[in-house]
Amino acid sequence: MKYNPDIHYRRSIRLKYYDYSQQGAYFITICTHNKECLFGKIVNVAMVLNDAGKMVEKWWHELNTKFPNIEPGAHIIMPNHFHGIIIIVGVDLRVCPDINNNDNYRCEHTGQGEHTGSPLHKIVQWFKTMTTNDYIKNVKTNNWKPFNKKLWQRNYYEHYP
């Protein structure tokens, strides 16, 4: 079927005017593409991670290396999805804080108007990218189960308490 913007559109599930770089704890859920069970299995009501699940956990613990203004909180990896709490702390709410007053025009017109905190979507994007790249590497070198086109579903679900 040919793309028709009147019927083929993707509605954002983000709150329209909410600033997802502000301080707070965000509960996120990310599902594997086609809900494939790639990260382990449930055995006697306990999740047993396989190597892919351990890899996802490794990248979860690396989040605050890339984003020093966050703390990765509690998390759980399930066979086909991931739940975690991302706590954004220490956000500098000034826009372009390192630019002097003479450069305000440049700040407003060059896309440098983001807060210095990391917005949630950038954090999740980095996590999904790193886990996908690592998974692909292990498909090639360690015979992990290949996935079909994408490791993760397009979006993620988030809830701010």
Mean pLDDT of 82-107: 62
CATH number where 62 lies: 3.30.70
Q: What are phi and psi of 128, to 5 degrees?
A: -65, -40
Structure token pair of residue 100: 């002097």
Which contiguous run of DSSP H or E holds residue 131? helix 120-142
Per-residue confidence (pLDDT) for residue 103, from 0 to 100: 43
Length of the chain counted residue by residue: 161
Range(s) of the domain holding residue 81: 24-141
Domain count, the chain: 1
In what helix (H) or strand (E) does residue 65 lie, and over which residues does it extend? helix 51-66
**pLDDT grade for 104, boundaries at 50, 70 and 90:** very low
Gap between the Cα atoms of 136 and 129, Å rounded: 11
Give the confidence band of 21 by pLDDT, cuts at 50, 70, 90. Answer: confident
For position 19, what pLDDT does the model report? Answer: 61
Residue 131 falls within a domain, yes or no?
Answer: yes
